[in-house]
Copies of this chain bind each other. A is one copy, B any other.
């Protein structure tokens, strides 16, 4: 089933304790789309890049089955650029540079064929843009998910809450859930956030896994402990892309299927962090993904007798 993916397509420079990568391909929408492409080939991408964005990278996305009709290439602008540095605790990072470039003029106009996409993943962007995307949908959507971050809670909480009120799934990290709800306990935070609109709340905790809240039920998916973690950039977006891709493939938004979607999302994220940027996400096989999903199962498996 069709999946609309919206967000940044970017150049990233990333430094971690294990190395540095200069001006590699990044951006939430890139990670979301690559991850989802292993589950559905009806991906409608909406994003903006500058004239400096490499043609072979566009070809590479197209090869993964991504529909690029909604990719705006601004001939007089440069692609969004982000530079970040991770410290030994790779759950936190410093932003060194943010050059918005063409992103400043991003005003997504959805191609007609996108408007009936049945699944939607709104990557982290200004709430105002996310809202304008929702306004263009035809109302036939089966599930809409969004990502956001603390920055928008600081400067645009009202608009952000308008967007949150209109989605089915909100994906944020634990500190953001606390900030958004004003509650320390994630259980209480989830109750407050449900009052804002979403049916599902996914709390991403990086190397500590993810929590899925639904009504008064909770599901926990661990992160796979890995021998090599090179670069956490894009892991949250890859998680979301795997999750939405799986949902679009299976067309089942029940709690039980959301659990499976989150396991697939976690598996995709575990690949993402093993190399810099999107390199690993370009070349996975179904067998590798299935094998890794199996590792998640044994990681938490026990019997009480």
From known contacts A302-B256, A304-B260, infer whether A218 and B225 are also in contact, taking CB-CB under 8 Å. yes
* Given known A208-B205, A222-B209, contact A227–B302 (CB-CB < 8 A): no
Most buried by B among A17, A205, A225, A297: A225
* B304–A226 CB distance below 8 A: no
B219 contacts A299, C-beta separation under 8 Å: yes
Q: Which of A206-248 contact B (CB under 8 A)?
A: 208-209, 211, 218-222, 225-229
Chain B residue contacts of A209, Cβ below 8 A: 208-209, 220, 222
A88 to chain B, nearest CB (A): 6
Tally of chain A residues near chain B (CB < 8 A): 36
Tell me whether A302 and B260 are in contact (CB under 8 A): yes
Instruction: Check if A165 is an interface residue, CB within 8 A of chain B.
Output: no
> Of A36-44, A133-141, A144-152, A183-191, which binds chain B?
A183-191
- A95 part of interface (Cβ distance < 8 Å): no
Of A186, A259, A297, A300, the most chain B CB neighbours within 10 A belong to A300
Within 8 A of B (CB), among A29-88: 88
Q: Is A293 an interface residue (CB 8 A)?
A: yes
List B contacts of A185 (CB < 8 A): 225-229
- Give every chain B residue within 8 A of A186 (Cβ-Cβ): 225
Q: Mark A277-305 against chain B: 1 for CB-CB distance below 8 A, else 0.
A: 00000000000000001000101111110
Known: A185-B228, A219-B301, A260-B302. 8 other contacts (CB 8 A): A88-B178, A185-B229, A186-B225, A188-B227, A219-B302, A222-B222, A259-B302, A263-B304
> 9 shortest A-B CB distances, which residue pairs?
A208-B208, A259-B302, A300-B300, A220-B222, A187-B227, A220-B299, A187-B225, A186-B225, A185-B227
Point out residues on A near B: beta carbons under 8 Å: 17-18, 88, 90, 178, 184-188, 205, 208-209, 211, 218-222, 225-229, 256, 259-260, 263, 293, 297, 299-304
